Amino acid sequence: MKKRLLVITFVIIFAFGMQSGFLGTSFVRGFMDGWNSHDSNPTEHVMFLDVHLTPEVSGSTVGQLINEKTGEVIPANIRSATLSMAPDSLFLTFETISAFILIGTIIMIAVYFIKIVVAVNRSIVFDWINVKRIRYMGIGLLVVFVLDFGNFIYSKILVDRLIEIEGYRTIGDESFSFLYFILGLSALLIAEVFAIGLRLREEQELTI
């Protein structure tokens, strides 16, 4: 049983690390842009902004590509691009602060998760300390979601304010999901189930 627990733990840590790595890429890039903007000439510095596009007319083809092997011109649509733009100080500040909060939150979640695994490995399962740990993990996951959602909304507003491309309209980041929101609520739900079970056990012990 302990071996299965360790295997499952390592798989979860690996999956969480991969997902957090993908999420953290944009925040880290924003942090580096913000950091570099203080050390370089503002007129020389740029920030990179991801733009996601869809044709204004559904089903239409707006652009074209050239197949270098055949020389054929192929109708195509641009779905996403990374643009080099003049820095927006407010956006870079937001991403810099978010990067610090994100890193700290992910470390906190990982630490509490490992503590729970160690406790379960020692046959300490239904305990108030585990309830608190699961709650903190749930809150941490919701914080990660809020940061991701804030970045999603701010990026969309910034893109709509600064960019207009003929034949296209901008859309939100397709990689955004409610995964961390669902996981956070699930963790809080599990914590409440544990808490109810502990209260019932304590009431039964008092009755006896």
Where in the chain are the domains? Answer: 2-47+86-207
* Angle of CA points 50, 51, 57, to nearest 5°: 165
pLDDT at 208: 62
| Residue 169: both structure tokens together | 């309209």
Residue 41 CB: number of other CB atoms within 10 A? 7
Name the more confident of 180 and 87: 180
Mean pLDDT for 30-47 is 54
Q: What confidence category does residue 142 fall into, taking pLDDT thresholds of 50, 70 and 90?
A: very high
Q: What is the DSSP letter of 79?
A: -
Range with top average pLDDT, 34-43, 100-109, 168-177? 100-109
Q: Answer left, alpha or beta for residue 183, where phi above 0 means left and psi between -120 and 50 means alpha.
A: alpha
Mean pLDDT for 82-107 is 81
Q: Are 173 and 52 in contact (CB under 8 A)?
A: yes
Measure Cα distances from 102 to 145, 168, 190, 202 in Å.
10, 33, 23, 37
> Residue 75: phi, psi to the nearest 5?
-60, 135
Model confidence pLDDT, tens digit, residues 120-131? 778 777 888 989
- Say how far apart CA 30 and CA 97 lie, in whole Å: 9
40, HSE (Cβ side, Cα atoms, 13 Å): 14
| Residue 76: both structure tokens together | 């195509």
Q: What is the pTM of this model?
A: 0.73
| Residue 90: both structure tokens together | 């407010």
- The label of the residue with tokens 């239409």 reads 60
